[in-house]
Structures are given as structure tokens and as C-alpha cells.
Amino acid sequence: MADKVIGVLGGMGPWATLDLFEKILRLTPAQVDQDHFRLVIDNNPKIPDRSPAILGDGEDPTPALVATAKNLQQAGADFLVIPCNTAHFFYERIAAAVSIPVLHIMDEVATAAREAVPDVRVLGVLATEATMASGLYQRACGRGGIEVVGPDPAGQRVVNRAIYGVKAGQMGPEVTQGLVRVATHLLAQGAQAVVLGCTELPYVMKPHDLQVPLLDSNLVLARAAVRLATGTPQHASTR
């Protein structure tokens, strides 16, 4: 059976899209070019910022998200991945606009958390303010009996600055130090693992930065994409 074509609804932001592409390449057991998957990437950074739209004072990105998803299907994608956690607020509208599966990053992370920590009860999440306010992780994890804890307002400001800093190319050690402090507060609230719930954050936080499992949502999504592209049964819902 031929490999499936992966469609990447990207550009939110471009660094996160690049990170997903590299992770898919590294996860692929390829010896020659032809062993790799075909990817169709629409790196569309002109999609309006998702966070202001969710929080009530920004342009609705739905038309651009839907148009980009349709472009990918028309270009030959067999399924879609979205390397942006916050964009999953619009997941249902994207999925309804195409006739191919769309992987759901929060569902995949919830499953990965149970694999990393079989008895996980509390999961810390570092994500945009809009992602946290939307309840996306709370709902996905709650279906498996996992409680989600997030930063306090001061910690959330640190996370927001880190995310938009990466978008601006600011990836220095001081950014990592700030995130580690916020994550440490989540551990004090009982978190048994921490999720990088924004796809910019893998650039500034690595597994060795914490003493508990650090779940990179972009890596989790890449693994799910490779499984689906090869026809391996999915263990998490594609909705």
C-alpha cells in the first residue's frame, strides 16, 4: 500500500512549521530520497493571529484556515496536520470544510501523556493565553481523567513573551530560564509531566530542562502523522 500524502496547514508560525517538517523527516526510516513521505506544505503566515480572535478583539482567521485546508486537499493531501495549538479552536470548522481526516493535536498529546506517565493524573500545560482560555487541553485531557494545570497570570505573561519572542527570532537562554521557572510552579501544583502546548516553544525548551517528562506537542503531532502516512492504526481520535 502506498504511503499517504501529508498535508501541513502551516505558517502559524513559520518556525513551528519548519520544526514539524524536520521532525517528520527525522522520524522517517529513510535510506534514499524516495523513502520519505510526500508532504504538501502551505506555509501561510498571512492567516490572522488566532489569539486575538479567540480573546475577542481580532480578525476571524476561519476563512483563511478553511481556504488553506481546501488548497491542501486539492493539492493531493490524504490527511491534514495543523502545527499550531491555538488554531485548534477552529478545528471543527476546518474539518467540516474538507473530506479528508484532520489530526487533532490535543487528542494526540493526551494519549502521549498516558504513554509517558501511565498513572498520570495532573498535566501542566504551557501554551498561549487563548489556548488556555479556550479549554482545548482541559477537554481533551479530561476525557481521559487527566486534570490540566496552567500558569498563573504572571507566569502566563512569561509564556506569551516567550512564544512571540520565538516568532521574532528571540531564542536565547534567558527565555528558557523564564519558562523553566513557570514550569516549576506547575510541578508544585502536582503536574507529573509538562506539555509544550505551543509549537514555538520546542525552540526554547528541551526535555533536559525539567526533571519530569516534557511533551513536545509538535513532536507528538509528527509521530502521529508518520503513523497515519504509513497506514499504522491510530490510537488517538482523528475526530
Contact predicate 32/19, CB 8 Å: no
Q: How far apart are CA 105 and CA 238, in angstroms?
A: 9
User: Among residues 9, 198, 219, 225, which one is catalytic?
Assistant: 198
Catalytic residue among 40, 84, 166, 225: 84
Closest by CA position to 201, among listed 222, 180, 187, 225: 180
The reply to whether 84 belongs to the active site is yes
Instruction: For strands 147-149 and 122-126, give the pairing.
Output: parallel
Euclidean distance between the first and the last CA atom of the chain, given in angstroms as a whole number: 23
Task: Tell me how far CA of residue 133 lies from CA of 46, 151, 232, in angstroms.
Answer: 24, 11, 34
Q: Is-catalytic flag, 198?
A: yes
C-alpha radius of gyration, the chain, whole number = 17
* Residues with a known catalytic role: 84, 198
